[in-house]
Structure 1
Amino acid sequence: MATLKGDNKNNFLMADPMNGDSVYKIYGYGGNDRIFGHSSAHNKIYGGDGNDIIYGGDYKNTIEGGKGNDQIHGGDGRDVIIGGAGVDKLWGGDGGDRFVFKSISEIGKAEGRRDVIEQFKSNTFDGRDKIDLSAIDAIAGTKKNDAFTWVAKEGAAFSGKKGELTWTETQLNNGHYTKLVLGDVNGDKKADFILEVDSFSDLYKGDFIL
């Protein structure tokens, strides 16, 4: 296993393409870093603090942005992408990728202040991406980690039951049309988080890990 580490400055970190290890770990730490994983290894990349730009390789990657407004590109392969805190833009690339969100505060809500998944693939020949919300307690106030209830109809209003998840299509201020995933954890019929998902197709329950 190879390891590459930055520091608290703005780093340019690139995996050694001649290194033949099967696992490559890269740590950005502080600063606004640009990080490039190994093209053919299993990259485990941790951006740390700062606004990082991260590229995985052509094999499976596990990429965690950490704090800051990050841009994460998974590349080819079946990647696990964790934006972390901040306003993040996430690209999975080819292969069936998993986008992991651990709290509603990580996702955000307002346009320009929420996370965005770009080029999401719903059951295509390149694989089916997944939005993993399983770490988020869908029902506020309970002792256990409850799963979300999927409301399948596009644009469906919340019913007032805690833990509902729905989606809609909307036009952004820049004129671009995109999908929004909305979750209500306290049953007040208002979205507690809104995830922006750029997808050519509709969204389905199978696109999520609830």
Structure 2
Amino acid sequence: MATLKGDNKNNFLMADPMNGDSVYNIYGYGGNDRIFGHSSAHNKIYGGDGNDIIYGGDFKNTIEGGKGNDQIHGGDGRDVIYGGAGVDKMWGGDGGDRFVFKSISEIGKAEGRRDVIEQFKSNTFDGRDKIDLSAIDAIAGTKKNDAFTWVAKEGAAFSGKKGELTWTETKLGNGHYTKLVMGDVNGDKKADFILEVDSFGDLYKGDFIL
């Protein structure tokens, strides 16, 4: 197992392509880092604080952006991507990728201040990517971690029932069309978070881990 560490400055960190270890751990720590994983190892990359740009390798990657407005590129392989706090933009690349969100605050809500998943592969096509919301309690005020209830119809309004998850297609201020995934955890018929998902097809329950 190989390890590469940065510091609190703006680091350029690149895994040694000649290293033959099967696991490569990379830590950016503070600063606005540029991080490149090993092309054929299982990369475990931790951006840390700062606005980081992270590229995984062609094998499976586990990438955590940490705090800051990060850009995360999974590359080929089956990647697990955590954007973390801040306004993050994420690309899974080829392979069946999982985008994990641990809290509502991580995702955000307002345009330009929310997380974005680019080039998401939905069930409309090969259905390999997943959006994992299972760590978020869908119903505020309960003692257990409740799962979201998927409302399948595009553009469906919230009914007032806590824990509903729905989606719609919309045109952004820049003229680009995208999907918005919205969740209501308190039953006030308003979105408590909005995740922007650039998908070529419609979104389905099978695209999510609820």
Query: How far 1:124 moved relative to its partner?
Result: 7.0
Query: For residues 125 and 21 of structure 1, what CA distance do their matches in structure 2 show?
Result: 35
Query: For residues 126 and 7 of structure 1, what CA distance do their matches in structure 2 show?
Result: 40
The answer to whether the Cα contact below 8 Å between 1:95 and 1:127 also exists between their aligned partners in 2 is no
1:21-170 residue pairs with structure 2 within 5 A? Answer: 21-123=21-123, 128-170=128-170
Q: What SS class does the counterpart of residue 106 from structure 2 fall into?
A: helix
1:90-132 deviations in whole A, cap 9, x for unaligned? 0000000000000000000000000000000014776610000
- In the TM superposition, structure 1's runs of 4+ consecutive aligned residues that sit over 6 Å from their partners are none
Query: For residues 139 and 198 of structure 2, what CA distance do their matches in structure 1 show?
Result: 26
The answer to whether the Cα contact below 8 Å between 1:96 and 1:126 also exists between their aligned partners in 2 is no
Q: After the TM superposition, which of the residue ranges 124-133 and 11-20 deviates more from structure 2?
A: 124-133
The answer to whether the Cα contact below 8 Å between 1:155 and 1:169 also exists between their aligned partners in 2 is yes
| TM-score normalised by L of structure 2 | 0.99
| TM-score normalised by L of structure 1 | 0.99
Q: How many residues align?
A: 210
Q: What is the aligned-residue identity percentage?
A: 96
Query: For residues 93 and 126 of structure 2, what CA distance do their matches in structure 1 show?
Result: 9
Query: For residues 120 and 21 of structure 2, what CA distance do their matches in structure 1 show?
Result: 30
Query: How far 1:150 moved relative to its partner?
Result: 0.1
Query: For residues 135 and 97 of structure 1, what CA distance do their matches in structure 2 show?
Result: 17
1:176-203 deviations in whole A, cap 9, x for unaligned? 0000000000000000000000001000
Q: Any unmatched runs of 5+ in structure 1?
A: none
- Judged with a 3 Å threshold, the aligned counterparts in structure 2 of structure 1 residues 158 and 143 are, in CA distance, closer, same or farther, namely same
Query: For residues 94 and 124 of structure 2, what CA distance do their matches in structure 1 show?
Result: 10
Query: How far 1:77 moved relative to its partner?
Result: 0.2
Q: Any unmatched runs of 5+ in structure 2?
A: none
Query: For residues 169 and 126 of structure 2, what CA distance do their matches in structure 1 show?
Result: 23
Cα RMSD, aligned residues only: 0.9
Query: For residues 90 and 139 of structure 1, what CA distance do their matches in structure 2 show?
Result: 27
1:32-53 deviations in whole A, cap 9, x for unaligned? 0000000000000000000000
1:1-20 residue pairs with structure 2 within 5 A? Answer: 1-20=1-20
Query: For residues 106 and 47 of structure 2, what CA distance do their matches in structure 1 show?
Result: 15
